[in-house]
Structure 1
Amino acid sequence: MIEISPQQLPALSRWFPTGSPGPGALAEHALATGAGRWWADRVDRPSVLAVSCADHVLLRGDPSSLTPDDLARFAGQYIEAPARFRPSLGSAFERVVPWERMLYVQHAQVSLPRPPRGVTVRRLTPEDAPALAGLHPEHAWIHASWGGPGRLAASGHGWAAFSRSRILSVACTYFLGSAYEDIAVVTVPDRRRESLALAGVAGLTADIQARGRTASWCCSRDNRPSRLLAWTAGFRLTREYVHHATGRAMAHQVQAAPVPA
C-alpha cells in the first residue's frame, strides 16, 4: 500500500459513509483535522483503502490485493474492518485479538454536577496546552487523535477538571464527525469516584448539542466503569462491534541463525 492524500481520491464517502457514530466518524475526523493518514493499494481506482488516526485504523475494500507487508505498518493498533479481512490480518501479525466493543449514543442531556471544593470544570483553551502536556504519559492517548496537546487545547472540543493548574480529568471529542462526535474521557487515578468525568462529559456534550451534533461513546465490553459512566451521562447502547488489536508484524521477524554444532 502507498500513502496518499485524501484529495487524490474522489468519492471518499463511497468508502467511508458520512454521518456515522463511533468508529465511523474516524475518517471524517481525519479529513477535517488533518490528523490522520491514508493508504491505498494504488491511486487510480484503488481496491483497498485504509485511514488511521491515533492508534485506530479503518480498513475497507477487497483484501485479496493485500500482502502481509502491506499491513505491517498497522502493527500494535486497533483495526476495524469487515470480517473478510480477518485471514489477511492473521497472516500479517503474530497475534490478532478480537476486542468486543459497545457503541452508545446520547439520548438525554445531564446537568453539570457540582465539582468538589477547589476544583473547576471548564472548557479547554489554548493556554491549557502545557497542563495537557503534563499528564502522565499513559494518559497521552487522550490528545493523540488531535495530533498533540496544543491542538486539542485549541480545538474548542475539550473540557477538563482543574485543581489550580493541574488537570484531574479530561473529556473531549476524540473523533469529530459531521453528525456525531465520538467522545473519550480520562481521569487521573487519585481523583476518581468524584464525578469529575461526569462533569466534563456534561459540559462537553452540551457543547456538542449546541453544535447541532449528537455525542457517541465507544468502550470495551469488559470496561464496566466506562459503561456505567456512559449510562449515567444519558447514553444508551446502539450496537456492538468488534475491532482487532494487532501484535508484531510477521514481516518484521528475523530468523535466528542456527547455532553451530
Structure 2
Amino acid sequence: MLTVTAGDVEGMRPFFAPERPGPMVFGHVATTGRGIVAVDRWPGPRVAMAQVGQDTALRGDPDHLSPDAFAGAAAFLEAPPQWEAALRNIDPALAVWPRIIATLPAGAHLPVSDAVLLGPDDVPGLAALPADIAWIHETWGGPEGLALARVARGYRVDDELVAVAVPFHIGSAFEDVGVVTAAAHRGHGRALTCAAAVLQDIRDRGRVPSWSTSPDNPGSLAVAARLGFVHHRDDVLYAINLPSPDDSH
C-alpha cells in the first residue's frame, strides 16, 4: 500500500462518505493529522485504507486488496460487509466483533461534571495508566499527543489519574467517545463524570457525540443509557491477526 501525502488526504474523503457515527478512522486522520491514509495505487486508487494505531477503515473494491496488505500486522477493521471474504483470505481466523453504535440526542440533559481538562502537565499521569486501559490514548499518538491536544477529561483520586474520557475518533460531524476507569476505582460513577464533560465539549465544538461498545459490555451500555444515548445501529468490527477483544468503553 502507498501512503497518501498529507496534501492529498482530503481528496480521499469521497471514498469514506457519508460519515457515520461510530468509528470514524478517516475523519480522525483528516481532522487531527494523526495516522495515515494509504491506497493500492496512485493515481487512480481502487482501495483506500485509513489507519490510526490499530484502528483501520477500508473502502473501495475488495477485489483489489493485496494479500500482503497487512503483512501480519494486527488491526481492528471497520469495513462494509462485502469486505469480509477478502479479509478472511488474508486471515482465515478473522474475528467478527459485534458493536452497538449510539448517538446523543440534542435534547439530552447532561449531568454537571467536575472532571478536569487534561493538558501538558498530565503526560506522566496518562503514561502511568494501567496497561489494560492504556488504549485510551492510542488514536492521539500516545500520552503526550493526547495531553497536548487538550481534549481529554480526567478524574483524580489522591493525585492519581483513575478515569479518562476522550473523543477517540473525531470526524467532521460526529465525535466518538472512549472512556476508561482503573479497575480499583470502578463502580463509583467516574466514567460517567468524565464522559459527561467530554460530551459537553463535543457539543461546544458543534458536533454530535456517538458511543461505540459491544453488546456484552453491560457497564458501558449502562453509562451510555444514563447519559441519554439512543441506539443508532448494530455493526461489527473485524479483528485481523487478533482475537475479538474484551471491550472496556
Structure-1-length-normalised TM-score: 0.86
Please state how far the C-alpha of 1:234 moved relative to its aligned partner: 1.1
CA distance in 1, matches of 2:20, 2:85: 26
Counterpart secondary structure, 1:21: coil
Counterpart secondary structure, 2:70: helix
Aligned AA for 1:79?
A: L
Report the equivalent of 1:4.
4
Equivalent of residue 184 in structure 2, options 159, 171, 190: 190
Report the equivalent of 2:65.
66
List aligned pairs for 1:82-161, cutoff 5 A. 82-107=80-105, 108-112=108-112, 121-161=115-155
Counterpart secondary structure, 1:11: helix
Matched, 1:181 2:175: yes
Equivalent of residue 166 in structure 2, options 151, 155, 172: 172
Counterpart secondary structure, 1:30: helix
Please state how far the C-alpha of 1:6 moved relative to its aligned partner: 4.5
Instruction: Give the unaligned 5+ runs of structure 2.
Output: 243-249
Matched, 1:206 2:200: yes
Counterpart secondary structure, 1:22: coil
Q: Measured at CA, do residues 213 and 195 of structure 1 come closer, stay the same or move farther in structure 2, by a change above 3 Å?
A: same
Q: Cα deviations across residues 150-205 of structure 1 (Å, max 9, x unaligned)?
A: 11112121100001321110011101112111110000001111000111111111
- Post-superposition, which runs of at least 4 consecutive aligned residues in structure 1 deviate over 6 A? none
Q: Measured at CA, do residues 162 and 58 of structure 1 come closer, stay the same or move farther in structure 2, by a change above 3 Å?
A: same
Matched-pair contact (CA < 8 Å) for 1:72–1:93: no
Structure-2-length-normalised TM-score: 0.90
CA distance in 1, matches of 2:207, 2:37: 25
CA distance in 1, matches of 2:19, 2:101: 15
Matched-pair contact (CA < 8 Å) for 1:109–1:206: no
Matched-pair contact (CA < 8 Å) for 1:77–1:245: yes
Matched-pair contact (CA < 8 Å) for 1:72–1:92: no
Matched-pair contact (CA < 8 Å) for 1:109–1:202: no
Matched-pair contact (CA < 8 Å) for 1:68–1:92: yes
Report the equivalent of 2:52.
53
Report the equivalent of 1:33.
32
Matched-pair contact (CA < 8 Å) for 2:36–2:52: yes
Aligned residues: 240
CA distance in 2, matches of 1:126, 1:109: 30
Matched-pair contact (CA < 8 Å) for 2:26–2:37: no
Please state how far the C-alpha of 1:54 moved relative to its aligned partner: 2.0
Counterpart secondary structure, 1:71: coil
Matched-pair contact (CA < 8 Å) for 1:18–1:177: no
Equivalent of residue 226 in structure 1, options 216, 220, 228: 220
CA distance in 2, matches of 1:155, 1:67: 35
CA distance in 2, matches of 1:9, 1:43: 12
Please state how far the C-alpha of 1:212 moved relative to its aligned partner: 1.2
Counterpart secondary structure, 2:69: helix
CA distance in 1, matches of 2:97, 2:186: 25
Report the equivalent of 2:247.
none
Aligned AA for 2:231?
A: L
